[in-house]
Structure 1
Amino acid sequence: MNFELFVAKRIIAGKEYKSSISSPIIKIAITAIALGIIIMMISVATGAGLQQKIRDKMSGFKGHIQITNFDNNNSDVSVVPVSKNQDFYPNFSTIDGIKNVQVFANTVGLVRTKTDFEGIVFKGVSTDYDWSFFKEYLVEGDVPNFNQKRTRDILLSKTLVDRLQLKLNDTIRVSFFKKDPKKLPSTYKLIIKGVYNTGFLEFDKNMMIGDLREVQRLNKWTKDQVGGFEVLIDDFDQLREKGNQIHQSIGSTLEATTIVGSYPAIFEWINLFDNNIWFIIGIMILVAGINMITALLVLILERIPMIGILKALGSSDWSIRKVFLYNATYLIIQGLFWGNLIGLTILLLQQYFGFITLDPENYYVSEVPVYIDVFSMLALNLGTLILCFTMLVVPSVIITKIQPSKSIRFA
């Protein structure tokens, strides 16, 4: 039988343990650990969720990697066309981890109504386009079908629809400007087939999705000419590696740009979340550890006579220290249990009901996203347990200073 564990269990189970002077301090220590793990879990889950949601939305609009003509200079407008007849289209046979390769072409225009107007980026796509992203955020109607003849059905954001006081199936007039400023713009009638709302105002405020053949007609391109290619990959963490592989496998007149390279400021901003998360974790573990040290010291001082008796009976200092370390570990586990229970409840409620909202103009999402990674949560709990336990080893040295001859007199 483990003697130290047996004594620790007897102390915990004793009635005087729950009604002792140290009881309020112990409860405070348990509460501190519970609150600490709650805050850490929320920080990790929401930080990872926000990073993932923002990069998924950006990739949904722009793809993970864009292949365009070198002369386009990363512009939102497809100025110089690219031939669709490439070795890597429709599939990158030489590179693994590629989910889809889809053609696109962009041009700018002006949506006009009787009372207002808005500038837009008209993104033309074809039958190879992956609609899974827009289907997730579709609020009305359906995505356009480009499998038939050329269509003027478009997908418009709810932001633009509300701003221009439009509705589903409305016919809108869009003017497209020509390269020669002396020529009048071309005006087309387009039909709102579907309405989406991603909450990413950076793109929602001006992005319109339609038929690639309309853009080709506007730019006087042939059916084999496109603005570029969007490449979707399976694992975002391999973006840089896949970007380099794609760059090396395409022609010298083409350029491959990752979504991170196109929008470095946004990705630098979301990478700062990691620093904030680590800072919060460090502070919370420190606070929890200090509270546990206080609780352990009170437990030791409260049981000085017991320590003296155990020493008189032949127990070693380390054996007695283990008794109190077992006791403190029980308190830490108790705090972790309640913290995980409450923390996971809050995260699941947020994940399914989204009661905590954000300003999409600043955070690119309308509600706090949650990503619960089991491995991260287990590592968080295990790390907290180990670090708090390690912090308790040093103050337990006070037991070695207690002399049996003096301590037993207070029994």
Structure 2
Amino acid sequence: MNISFFIARRYLFSKKSHNVVNVISTISVCGIALATAAIVCVLSIFNGFGGIVESMFNAFDPDLKITVKEGKVFDYHTPEFEKALQVKGIQLISESLEENALFIFNESQVPVLMKGVSEEFRLMTDMEKLLLEGSFKLHEDVVDYTTLGSGLAITLGARSNFISPIKIYAPKRDVKVNLANPAAAFTPAYIQIGGIFTLNSPEYDDQMAIIPIQLARDLFGYENQVTSLDIKLDANASVYRVKREIQRIVGNNFLVEDRFEQQKESYQMLQMEKWVAFLIMVFILLIAVFNLVGSLSMLIVEKRDDIKSLQNMGASDQLISRIFLYEGWLIAFIGIIIGIAMGLVLCLLQQHFGLLRLSDVPGAYIIDAYPVIVEALDVMIAFVVVSLISLLTVLYPVNNLRKKIRN
């Protein structure tokens, strides 16, 4: 058995002559445990929020999206696209045409980003999951319908059960506005309100309206052009493989994006917030770890007679230093293990019982309690970071002891 580790373990669990050493050691363990538990919980809560955002965007965004790098629209009826859209793994293709227009409803006038979609869009997305009211539909008999973002609906003062239609003014392409007759530069149309959706993102909620793609083409004078092709893949298809194959066929003039790349800024912001919160918790951990320095320093003072006895028995300076190094590591390790166990238990309780709630009013938010998703990688990162900080902190009093022994 390692003599240094054996003596360190005895020191850790034996009763000290000065009770304050026991108290400070206990405080050190508790401080490290609480800081570690907090890190595990904070990272898991950010994972939970990230999971909710991801699930909502996944309900709206396609598996792959093809856009043109230069320009706004493109015609995909080419031999290259015909070959690309036959790549194994593609299940469904939906056309999308996005343009800006003006919506007028009662006394409200709002500039809107209209997203014209084909009927396949219904099969590609899970719009029912995003709807706040009404239903998602594009046509019914000869009537066209729009689904409005929640913020846009509030600005317009519109609801899904209103009978009055929305009037659309779409600017004509390549037509200059005649100040004498500005209305001639716009193509008007009427559309009924089918439903209201939310993605909890201002980019979508405050300015987007989904309409039939044929109506969008009629309003803006397009024939077969699209701003993007949305692709749904088979359940067992490799997104990376299909993306790479399509990109190879269509060439560098087009951009093929997966779901992460479509919402890159949102995902990066979530990750940034998560790791900023992690760094804040690490600073709190540094404060807690200072107790470890005090505990170990007082233990060294208390064991001066033992150190002299060990030296007289022929113990090397390195062996004596390792005793207190192991002592500090044991204190830190116990705190880390207890902290991780506490964090996992708290996360489990939050998952099943929702102890920490966002609001006391049910339905005030999308979810009533803070979401939690525990990831093994985050637990491992917490363990490694807390261990490194604790171990580096232990070196300070141990190095001081080594200098005193040499002198």
Unaligned runs of 5+ in 1: 74-79, 358-364, 404-411
Query: Does the Cα contact within 8 Å between 2:57 and 2:199 map onto a contact in 1?
Result: no
Q: State whether structure 2 residue 382 is matched by structure 1 residue 380.
A: yes
What is the root-mean-square deviation in Å for CA atoms of aligned residues?
4.6
Identity level (%) = 19
* CA shift in 2, pair 1:276/1:211, >3 Å: same
Aligned residue in 2 for 1:123: 115
Query: Does the Cα contact within 8 Å between 2:67 and 2:229 map onto a contact in 1?
Result: yes
Query: Does the Cα contact within 8 Å between 1:285 and 1:388 map onto a contact in 2?
Result: no
What is the identity, as a one-letter code, of the residue corresponding to 2:391? F
What is the identity, as a one-letter code, of the residue corresponding to 1:138? L
Query: Residues 233-266 of structure 1, C-alpha deviation per residue, up to 9 Å, x if partnerless?
Result: 89xxx999987765442167x5326588888876
Aligned residue in 2 for 1:197: 198
What is the identity, as a one-letter code, of the residue corresponding to 1:209? I
Matched residue SS, 1:72: coil
Q: State whether structure 2 residue 22 is matched by structure 1 residue 23.
A: yes
* Alignment partner of 1:144 out of 137, 143, 157: 137
Aligned residue in 1 for 2:219: 218
Aligned residue in 2 for 1:360: none
Deviation at 1:127, TM superposition (A): 3.5
Aligned residue in 2 for 1:406: none
Q: Following the alignment from structure 2 to structure 1, what is the Cα–Cα distance between the partners of residues 68 and 2? A: 73
Deviation at 1:121, TM superposition (A): 1.9
Q: Following the alignment from structure 1 to structure 2, what is the Cα–Cα distance between the partners of residues 150 and 250? A: 37
Aligned residue in 1 for 2:169: 176
TM-score w.r.t. length of structure 2 = 0.71
Q: Following the alignment from structure 1 to structure 2, what is the Cα–Cα distance between the partners of residues 135 and 375? A: 33
Aligned residue in 2 for 1:161: 153
Query: Does the Cα contact within 8 Å between 1:84 and 1:226 map onto a contact in 2?
Result: no
What is the 5 A alignment of 1:3-402?
A: 3-16=3-16, 20-41=19-40, 44-45=43-44, 66-69=65-68, 72-73=71-72, 80-84=73-77, 87-88=80-81, 92=85, 94=87, 101-129=93-121, 131-132=124-125, 134-144=127-137, 152-171=144-163, 172-179=165-172, 180=175, 181=177, 182-183=184-185, 185-192=187-194, 194-222=195-223, 224-231=224-231, 246-250=246-250, 255-256=254-255, 258=257, 272-273=272-273, 276=276, 279-280=279-280, 283-284=283-284, 286-344=286-344, 353=354, 355=357, 371-393=373-395, 395-400=397-402
Q: Following the alignment from structure 2 to structure 1, what is the Cα–Cα distance between the partners of residues 126 and 297? A: 56
* CA shift in 2, pair 1:123/1:400, >3 Å: closer
Query: Does the Cα contact within 8 Å between 2:60 and 2:125 map onto a contact in 1?
Result: no
Q: Following the alignment from structure 2 to structure 1, what is the Cα–Cα distance between the partners of residues 144 and 45? A: 40
Q: Following the alignment from structure 1 to structure 2, what is the Cα–Cα distance between the partners of residues 275 and 53? A: 18
Unaligned runs of 5+ in 2: 178-183, 360-366
Deviation at 1:119, TM superposition (A): 2.6
Aligned residue in 2 for 1:76: none
Matched residue SS, 2:211: strand
* CA shift in 2, pair 1:62/1:221, >3 Å: same
* CA shift in 2, pair 1:328/1:262, >3 Å: closer
* CA shift in 2, pair 1:401/1:225, >3 Å: closer
Deviation at 1:207, TM superposition (A): 1.0
Q: Following the alignment from structure 2 to structure 1, what is the Cα–Cα distance between the partners of residues 88 and 378? A: 30
Q: Following the alignment from structure 1 to structure 2, what is the Cα–Cα distance between the partners of residues 390 and 134? A: 52
What is the identity, as a one-letter code, of the residue corresponding to 2:387? L
Deviation at 1:55, TM superposition (A): 7.0
Matched residue SS, 1:143: coil
Q: Following the alignment from structure 2 to structure 1, what is the Cα–Cα distance between the partners of residues 296 and 42? A: 28
Aligned residue in 1 for 2:181: none
* CA shift in 2, pair 1:402/1:265, >3 Å: closer
Q: Following the alignment from structure 2 to structure 1, what is the Cα–Cα distance between the partners of residues 85 and 369? A: 37
What is the identity, as a one-letter code, of the residue corresponding to 2:136? V
TM-score w.r.t. length of structure 1 = 0.71
Query: Residues 349-404 of structure 1, C-alpha deviation per residue, up to 9 Å, x if partnerless?
Result: 777857459xxxxxxx999775532122113203422442244245324555677x
Q: Following the alignment from structure 1 to structure 2, what is the Cα–Cα distance between the partners of residues 299 and 142? A: 70
Matched residue SS, 1:170: coil
* CA shift in 2, pair 1:95/1:139, >3 Å: same
Q: Following the alignment from structure 1 to structure 2, what is the Cα–Cα distance between the partners of residues 91 and 150? A: 34
